[in-house]
Amino acid sequence: MAYSYYNYTGDGTTTQFPVAFGYIRREHVLASVAGSPVTFTWVNSSTIQMDVAPANGAVVRVYRQTPLTAPLVDFADGATLVAADLDTNAKQSIYTQQELSDSQEEGLANVIPNGDKGDITTSVGGTIWTIDTGAVTEAKIASGAVTEAKIGSGAVIEAKIASGAVTETKIANGAVTVAKLASGFAPTVSSINDGPLAGLRNRIINGNFDVWQRGTSFTGNEYGADRWVHARLGTTHTATRQAFTLGQTAVPNEPTYFCRTVVSSVTGSANYSILLQRIEDVRSFAGQQVTLSFWAKADAIKNISTELTQVFGSGGSPSATVEAIGVSKVSIGTSWQKVTVTATLPSISGKTLGTNNDHFLNVGIWFDGGSSFDARTNTLGHQSGTFDIAQVQIEPGSAATPFERRPIGLELELCRRYFKTVTLNGGAYSGPNQCFITPEGLNTFRATPSIAVDQYGFQFFNGTAWTTQSTGATFSMQSAFYGNVTLRVDGLVGNGSLNGTTTSVGLAATLSAEL
């Protein structure tokens, strides 16, 4: 028999329930339906009415909870004792004892009402205890209490960590160690300064084939796309710039261009066709592990080969190229796929570099990669077809990072260190039968450039009349005062007797300082 509560069963319509036990004050009487507290009003001193009829079959509990914290009546010296006050204190003692007895008989679950208990909320008749959101704070966790051994595998996931929750001040000094970082993700000083985390990490220039100053179509054995040599031997080889078009399977995240090379009429064991870039200064990657990556596809399943080659230049030692480093053969298909090759370049310690700063690293993609093809000896296995290349990148380290797309203005200026088209209109200083022109940017080349003039025209005053000349002139580059590079024009007939003559110039030419 319970002293402090009575259970009823809801029928979906009944809202009034008897209070079948004694109590001191009405606020000591509570009610719950299916373990959850409910509100009610008093019909009379022995009946309550719930706001909502309990559902059919639901357990309806009307119970008493007498306060234990202090006597309900506080007696004072000299005050008149009345029976009602004595009865109240006696009932408080008896009722709390009864409630304790009931809880012991029924179990702790039924004496703890559902609801918020501060940092914990109880439900289902006190059988489920839930820690409130935000209740467990850093201040409540003892230093060192949460150890790695106490955290289950996979327990800490990104979804469980609030945005901004992990701050620098919350990570103990020395807590993040290299051993705790996944392989390949441990940052080092070298990886920040010139490794995968650095800016301008891609040593290939125009790796996305955006810049084509010489035009957009070539027959091979020459520079085509800026910085790229389209070389061939004994075969028809053409290279053209192609744009990604709607409906075409594009290289991921790439909206612009790729280089298409068409190889045909391949005969003989020594024939080859290659897309090649020369990286200035053979010391660029000496003694380092590097990764070459690019996207490629072909008109059918084909093999291509890649190689890295060190060239020590005129007067260098060794004078010829070092044997190919990291030659790799890859099969490509008709859809874009990423090709990744990692190689370790040898040290150049003890070797001599060329005297003309013409030492460089060759990065080659061979289109003659048949099943028995060798990129260094050019033996057998040649093939023809259409080959598409995009997003070429070479960087330090063993991992291929996403293609580094530099601003187009910066890419163009990097290309102009080696090749530039110029159109000049204006005045120039003239000496006897010659003139000197200093176009802007001559000193930005890697070395003194050579010049190829497409067309020109000169006008100069010979003392009595203006003379026009558009043939017969020769052009050369020379260092002028203060080390500046100047374009020298000889063979201007008619101004040989004058110094300091002003000459009007019209000139279209290309300047090249390619490796």
Q: Residue 115 has what pLDDT?
A: 81
- DSSP for 78-133 reads TPPP-HHHHHHHHHHHHHHHHHHHHHHHH-GGGTS-SEE-SSEEEETTTTEEEEPT
436 shares its domain with 482: yes
Which stretches of 107-239 are DSSP H helices? 189-193
Quote the tokens at residue 264: 């045909």
In whole angstroms, give the CA distance from residue 405 to residue 252.
13
Q: Residue 371 has what pLDDT?
A: 47
Q: Residue 237 has what pLDDT?
A: 84
Q: Is residue 371 part of a domain?
A: yes
Q: Provide the phi-psi class of 57: left if phi over 0, else alpha when psi is between -120 and 50, else beta.
A: left
Q: Which helix (H) or strand (E) holds 414?
A: helix 408-415
334 shares its domain with 254: yes
In whole angstroms, give the CA distance from residue 29 to residue 51.
15
Q: Is residue 157 part of a domain?
A: no
| 8 Å CB contact between 423 and 508 | yes
In whole angstroms, give the CA distance from residue 292 to residue 297.
16
292 shares its domain with 374: yes
Q: Is residue 145 part of a domain?
A: no
More confident call, 112 vs 506: 506
SS3 string of 276-333?
A: EEEEECHHHCCCCEEEEEEEEEECCCEEEEEEEEEECCCCCECCCCCCCEEEEEEEEC
Convert the pLDDT of each residue in 34-93 to its tens digit.
999 999 999 999 999 999 999 999 999 999 999 988 888 888 887 887 888 888 888 889
Q: Is residue 374 part of a domain?
A: yes
| 8 Å CB contact between 387 and 298 | yes
Convert the pLDDT of each residue in 185-197 to its tens digit.
666 655 555 555 6
Convert the pLDDT of each residue in 202-218 to its tens digit.
999 999 999 999 999 88
Q: Residue 495 has what pLDDT?
A: 58
Average pLDDT over residues 246-254: 66
337 shares its domain with 473: no
| pTM listed for this prediction | 0.63
Q: For the chain, how many helices (H) and strands (E)?
A: 3, 29
Quote the tokens at residue 67: 């306060």
Convert the pLDDT of each residue in 372-408 to its tens digit.
445 445 444 567 889 999 999 999 998 899 899 899 9
381 shares its domain with 433: no
Quote the tokens at residue 457: 């025209």
Convert the pLDDT of each residue in 426-483 to its tens digit.
888 777 788 888 877 788 898 889 999 999 988 877 667 788 888 889 999 887 655 6
Number of other residues whose CB lies within 10 A of the CB of residue 178: 9
455 shares its domain with 329: no
221 shares its domain with 361: yes
Q: Residue 9 has what pLDDT?
A: 94
The percent of residues above 70 in pLDDT, for the chain, comes to: 86
251 shares its domain with 284: yes
275 shares its domain with 380: yes
Judge whether residue 492 has pLDDT over 70.
Answer: yes
Secondary structure (3-state) at 243: strand
Q: Is residue 187 part of a domain?
A: no
Q: Is residue 368 part of a domain?
A: yes
In whole angstroms, give the CA distance from residue 371 to residue 382.
9
More confident call, 126 vs 352: 352
Quote the tokens at residue 213: 């100053």
Judge whether residue 327 has pLDDT over 70.
Answer: yes
In whole angstroms, give the CA distance from residue 341 to residue 335.
19
Average pLDDT over residues 255-282: 81
384 shares its domain with 239: yes
| 8 Å CB contact between 412 and 211 | yes
| End residue of a domain, out of 123, 148, 181 | 123
| End residue of a domain, out of 54, 89, 123 | 123
| End residue of a domain, out of 369, 394, 413 | 413
Q: Residue 294 has what pLDDT?
A: 96
Amino acid (one-letter) located at 174: G
Domain containing residue 279: CATH number: 2.60.120.260
296 shares its domain with 440: no
100 shares its domain with 223: no
Judge whether residue 18 has pLDDT over 90.
Answer: yes
The percent of residues above 90 in pLDDT, for the chain, comes to: 36
The domain tally of the chain equals 3
Q: Is residue 455 part of a domain?
A: yes
* 409: containing domain: 217-413
Q: Is residue 171 part of a domain?
A: no
Confidence class for position 144, pLDDT limits 50, 70, 90? confident
Judge whether residue 270 has pLDDT over 70.
Answer: no
